[in-house]
A and B are shown apart, each in its own frame.
Chain A
Amino acid sequence: MKTNWLIPSLGAAVLVVLGLVAGEFWVKIATEAIIMVLFAASFALLYGQTGLLTFGQGAYFAVGAYGFALSMTKLELPFALCFIIGVVSAGLWAWITGFLCVRLAGIYFAIMTVVVAQSTFFIIFQWYDFTGGDNGIQGLIPPGFLQLPLAYYYFALAVSAVAYYGYYRLVTSPFGLSLRSIRENTTRATFVGIHVRRHTLKAFVVSGLFAGLSGVLFAPFTRTVVPQMADWLSSGKAVFMGILGGPAHLAGPLVGALVWVFLDAVVSGFTVHWPLIIGILVFVIVFFMPGGLMGLIASYGGASSIGREREPQS
């Protein structure tokens, strides 16, 4: 079955053109949305593909952002190097903490991820000398032309597009299928020779890399990092965006993050009751569309005609 490239190409074209026609406000909203896509993907990889419910992706988002910020302000390294250090430190932190988390299953795994994320938050929050505590770190100005919102938008779009292609390759790789078989039936997967713990740890680290990359892109975008990036509200955002789009679906995190961020921008423009809208939205999704927006689209036909039966389904 050939991959259908029409819809992804159209989506990419829309995002490219958007930068040219939208004003600065909407370009910034779009930038945030593009960055959040990777954050949602980090959740979807663990929950949608592997079946591990994580409430702690904020930890790796924050470690990525702080890795970037600290190497920029303390070490004064070049931008590209700070970028890489941020992503790598998120991956390392995911590797260390994931080593503990993947030993647990079900609700205990979920609790452990919360514990890790809150610990990360408090380490950042209280280590004043190093992280600046609750002041965060300011003045993370990207070099040269990237200071222009439009330029940064295209930069973030390019990085996210490459990373999302990586996500697509991962989901369709043999490793992706292994993760789904672990999700579907961990015992059965073990008894066809799959080393479940090794695979879930690998997924955990890759997921941490995605969250870290998202954090690294976010830091120079807002030009600040704050400890709240690691708290449970931040982690919850990844969960909501993932659930909204449909975490098991390839395009789920993309759709979820874009809809979430744009909805946030639109709704908070005319009401201060945005959290209420969030509540109702989550309620509706959980009760009426457990497969998220992509699950809804897939159920209205088209699913089999584009070879979706070979993709993960929720």
Chain B
Amino acid sequence: MTTITSTEPAAVALRDALIERTARGERFAGLTASRDGGTVTLSAYLAAPGRVDTLEAALPPGAAGYPSLTPAIGAAFWYERLIHDQTGIVPEGHPRLAPLVKPGDPLPRHVTGYGLFTIPHGPVRSGVFESMEYLVETPGEAIPHLNMRIFYKHRGVAGRFTGMTVEDGVLLAERAEGIASVAHALAYCHAVETLAGCEIPHEAALVRVTHAELERIANHLDVTMRLADAAGLAVATARFALHKERVQRLVSAMCGSRFGRGVVVPGGVAAFPRKRPAEILAEVAPLERQVTADMRAVLVTSSFLDRLRGTGPLTPARAREHGALGPIGKASGFADDARLTRPYDGYTELALASPGTHQAGDAMARLRVRAEEITQAFGLIRLALSDFPERTPPTPRVPLEPRDGRTVGWAEAPQGEVLYDVAIAGGRITSCQPRSASFHNLVLMHEVFAGDILTDFPFIEASFGLSAAGAAL
């Protein structure tokens, strides 16, 4: 952790450091603020191969504002709005300082002109969706501008961590973004384990990989199902729903929860899977065959592909500039997969192939990335389980005593990298700031509607594959 001390105001020094280091190729990965009495401290995260650095800038006591980072670091746009909501401190010069997780009036229309109107879409959606509101500004078909309001689901998860025991914290992390329970639990536990300086048992690391990859497969199948549903491809929708259900049933047979909850705990895993590795592999094999075959079929169904090609394009330049995470970044030629560049648990030893290069950045490319990740995930599960000893190993977890301190843990969720900035004192959490990939990526939806029309909306939303719960926390 680097604390910036400079004669310049701290926030300016922070901004300059961020500009310099992102220019060197490091990725801006988030910004949070904490208030301690009258002092607000900004913490920015920079991801580089092998590490995530935290840059801190303590604002002068009683400061009401600081020069906004957003004009220089565009990806800070939502982070600074969030900080304003949470601490009341004003990022001066922020382009649009509207509330993000606090209720606020709808923004005035961005695009004005004859015949333009706003379609409010949400927060109560049609069908089974998480609550969030899209305000679609349109002359009738094209979508020149889109606004999103995510505050409806804001639960105050970050604040709830404070005062929890280390052991309880992981339960909340699992429920921060329910569809990525394992990844959130992993990111949290990695931070705790770093503070404790402990090494988890080899077999526990393999179980973690297995569950994390099953979660990835389930999420990508869900996205594929939603895309097929949007295209009215009834059989494909049913097929992918069936595959997803089978994955969830396998997970529940292994641990009792359909979302892998209760598996990852600080120091390892709570228990080894109830099924033997050979049994799991015997179930995974036919599943892999069927998923692969249906994925191949969906990728040659022209009526389906017509809806995806060129839909919701994110340019490689924007993806790089924003540091787009997960499949969205990969589809636009920007791949920073934490499993590869900052490996953890079993990923340090299991060979993970570099992702294929995609440049198109459209819904089609995002689906291709997910198809590749599914194939890769099955491969990783096979590797992890064949490494697993036949006899039940002695212990699934090591006892740990986290030292007082603060650090960042990370994990690659199906949506992209998840960060947990955890501070512990006396065995209790003094602060915990989760940052989901959904939050970081969702803001990009503002910019992908170039040339797309209303009927493309479900495809773009599904292809992003994000969770409103994770975004609003």
Partners in one complex: no
Interface, chain A (partner B; CB < 8 A): none
